[in-house]
Amino acid sequence: MASYAFAFVVLVLASTKAFASDPSPLQDFCVADNTTKVFVNGVVCKNPAHVKADDFFFSGLDKPGDTKNALGSKVTPVNVNNLFGLNTLGISLVRVDFARRGLNPPHTHPRATEVLTLLQGKLYVGFVTSNPPKLFTKILNKGDVFVFPEGLIHFQLNIGHENAVAIAALSSQNPGVVTVANAVFGSKPVINDDLLAKAFQVDKKVVDYLQSQFWTDNN
């Protein structure tokens, strides 16, 4: 447990305001009020008089995520949606568990840079730049750190002989995630198959098959 706490402190210190994509706070804190129906760019603040220590507390990140799924991975987020004290602070956290050969598939965080620390196992990680696309990859071992720039497609694959565990800090209270395959083939409503067939230069039947698989898995 000490290693998790150490990793958390290092990641928090590494994610300074210089890298945060969210606006800076205008007061000491702005604990998110999850009961309001008001929509703003962010989350409305709770009355400071009603704020408690538990608003800044989250428990359970020591528990492994369930990797019994098609990808063999599980992301456990700690963001403004479940740790209300993160509101306006420009940072969040995830734990990522990998079974053997588990994959965190190509995805982006539209509002955040990610700094990942590997706590256990061996990962093949990488990201792709904007056009013209260039791939940067690295093999990580326990204790290694890798940064994924904001908005770029990136991935992690367990290439070791045991389960892997990573902790990542993100420079937004709500970084968002766009999984590439889900977005392209699993959107609702679906993207026109003729369009995708031309974009990927494949037969339309391939697109129809992929779309049917994503709709079956997500419905």
Name residues whose C-beta falls within 8 Å of residue 23's C-beta, 6 or more positions apart in sequence. 42, 88, 90
Contact yes or no for 43/32 (Cβ under 8 A): yes
Q: Which segments are annotated as binding site for Mn(2+)? A: 107, 109, 114, 154
> For residue 105, what pLDDT band results from cuts at 50, 70 and 90?
very high
Strands of 103-108's sheet in order across: 135-141, 122-128, 153-158, 103-108, 178-179
The Cα 197–Cα 123 span in angstroms is: 32
- Across 79-84, average pLDDT: 94
Confidence class for position 111, pLDDT limits 50, 70, 90: very high
> What percent of the chain has a predicted confidence (pLDDT) above 90?
77
With a cut of 50, say whether residue 213 has pLDDT above it.
yes
Question: What pLDDT is recorded for position 41?
Answer: 76
Q: In this model, does residue 7 exceed pLDDT 60?
A: no
Classify residue 26 by burial, with Cβ atoms within 10 Å: 0-12, 13-18, 19+.
exposed
* Mean pLDDT in residue range 64-92: 95
Of 74, 160, 81, the residue nearest 120 (C-alpha): 160
CA atoms of 22 and 42, how far apart (whole Å): 9
Terminal-residue alpha carbon distance, the chain: 37
Q: Which residues are annotated as a binding site for oxalate?
A: 104, 109, 114
Alpha helices (H) in the chain, listed in sequence order: 2-14, 180-185, 193-200, 204-217
Q: Is 6 helix (H, G, I), strand (E, B) or coil?
A: helix
Where exactly are the structural domains of the chain?
Answer: 177-218
pLDDT in tens, 17-47: 444 567 777 788 889 988 887 877 778 889 9
Residue 16 confidence (pLDDT): 47
The pLDDT value recorded for residue 2 is 52
Which residues are annotated binding-site positions? Answer: 104, 107, 109, 114, 154
19-23, 49-53, 84-88: segment of lowest average pLDDT? 19-23
pLDDT at 214: 85
Q: Is the dihedral of CA 57, 42, 168, 163 positive or negative?
A: positive
Digit-coded pLDDT (tens) for 171-195: 999 999 999 999 999 999 999 999 9
Identify the weakest region by mean pLDDT among 6-10, 167-171, 189-193: 6-10
Q: Read off the tokens for 117.
A: 């620390």
State yes or no: pLDDT of 8 exceeds 60. Answer: no
d(CA 170, CA 99): 23
| Among 85-89, 98-102, 148-152, the least confident range | 85-89
- With contact defined as beta carbons under 8 Å apart, do 166 and 117 qualify? yes
Distance CA 62, CA 5 (A): 10
